Amino acid sequence: MRTGAVTVLGVAGTGVGAAQNETADSGDANPSGQADDGESPYTETYRNTIDSVVLVSVSGAGGGPGGGLGSGFVIDDQHIVTNNHVVQGASEGGIEIQFSNEEWRTASIVGTDVYSDLAVLSVEDMPDVADGLSLSESEPAIGQTVLAIGNPLGLDASVSHGIVSGTDRSLPSPTGFSIPAAIQTDAPINPGNSGGPLVGLEGDVLGVVFAGAGQTIGFAISALLANRVVPALIEDGTYEHAYMGVGVRPVGPEIAAEIGLDEPVGVLVVEVVPDGPADGVLEPSTRGRPTGGDVIVAIDGEAIPNQPALSSYLALETSPGDTIEIEIVRDGEPQTVELTLEARPDAERPPAPIPGGPGERPPSTEP
């Protein structure tokens, strides 16, 4: 075992429940799916991936806030992916990585992105057991079986299983900007799982575990977004997100009737940031009433039925400097306008706790 067992009473964050099982062929598996040899159908996936899943132990500066435990996974012979919120309070030299063979390494931060809550760490002399996992290049199917592998509550090498409950979720973030294109799963997610992989049965990483909101609702940052962010963090240490500079709200039947739409579709522009990319291009609604504002219905020919679709399109299909064509309805008439995206400004809000985030460091135990 990597780290001593912990009690639920000392766990940080929310969404805490019973600890997950520590092996893939324990009671967590579906007995009806067992192979003839008695093994769980998830055992092979677990065995093929666990050596690339790590425990991330963090010490805060001066022993203050920022210490705790999380998870991560190896992607090549030098780099590990985890959550930004797992390592954001780490002191210099305060990130230690433990591998499945019990070896420890000190890690350094290569790059972080608070908006996607992703971080890349670097480890010298990566253990041979860690082959590295691949980020999927396609969106998972709803209903697809997934495994969450990591260190819930400080319990090492644990696995829980579930399905993909939803995709294209928009997650609240302490930055004030949502995390788009997220995956929802019913695989149990607890503090300490943060930063670990959500994998399909083929062993590819579908998402980076982000938070748990209860025993049947958990979320992961999609591999589609990680595939854009992670290479930039390795190359430059940062990632620039595309920015429109608008606030929007969904168009329901009541708003559609008030602004003269035949059917509720798209998103209503309710705010335009002064001197932002949309200033002078898009018109916001009248304060307090959904009148006079532009309704965004498509971008570059891609339908925008709701706010998560808008966020996902900007995150996955565009970059700062791109000029996009926006199809809008203004005063009841369809129009097309062009807007040049900029880089998102720095986050100004203080970081807030992430539900189901890193677990507190467990108490010392005797062998």
- The catalytic site residues sit at 85, 117, 194
For β-strands 104-113 and 90-98, DSSP reports them as: antiparallel
What residues are paired with 329 via a beta bridge? 295, 334
Q: Is the C-alpha dihedral spanning 19, 191, 182, 108 positive or negative?
A: negative
Nearest-angstrom CA–CA distance, 208 and 189: 12
Contacts with 360 (C-beta within 8 Å, 6 or more apart), sequence order: 10, 11, 12, 67, 68, 69, 191
Structure-token match 């996902």, residue found? 312
Nearest-angstrom CA–CA distance, 108 and 95: 7
Contacts with 36 (C-beta within 8 Å, 6 or more apart), sequence order: none
Structure-token match 């203004």, residue found? 330
CB-based burial label for 128 (10 Å; 0-12, 13-18, 19+):
exposed
Would you state the structure tokens that stand for residue 364, as one six-digit string?
Answer: 């010392």
- Are 84 and 114 spatial neighbours (Cβ–Cβ below 8 Å)? yes
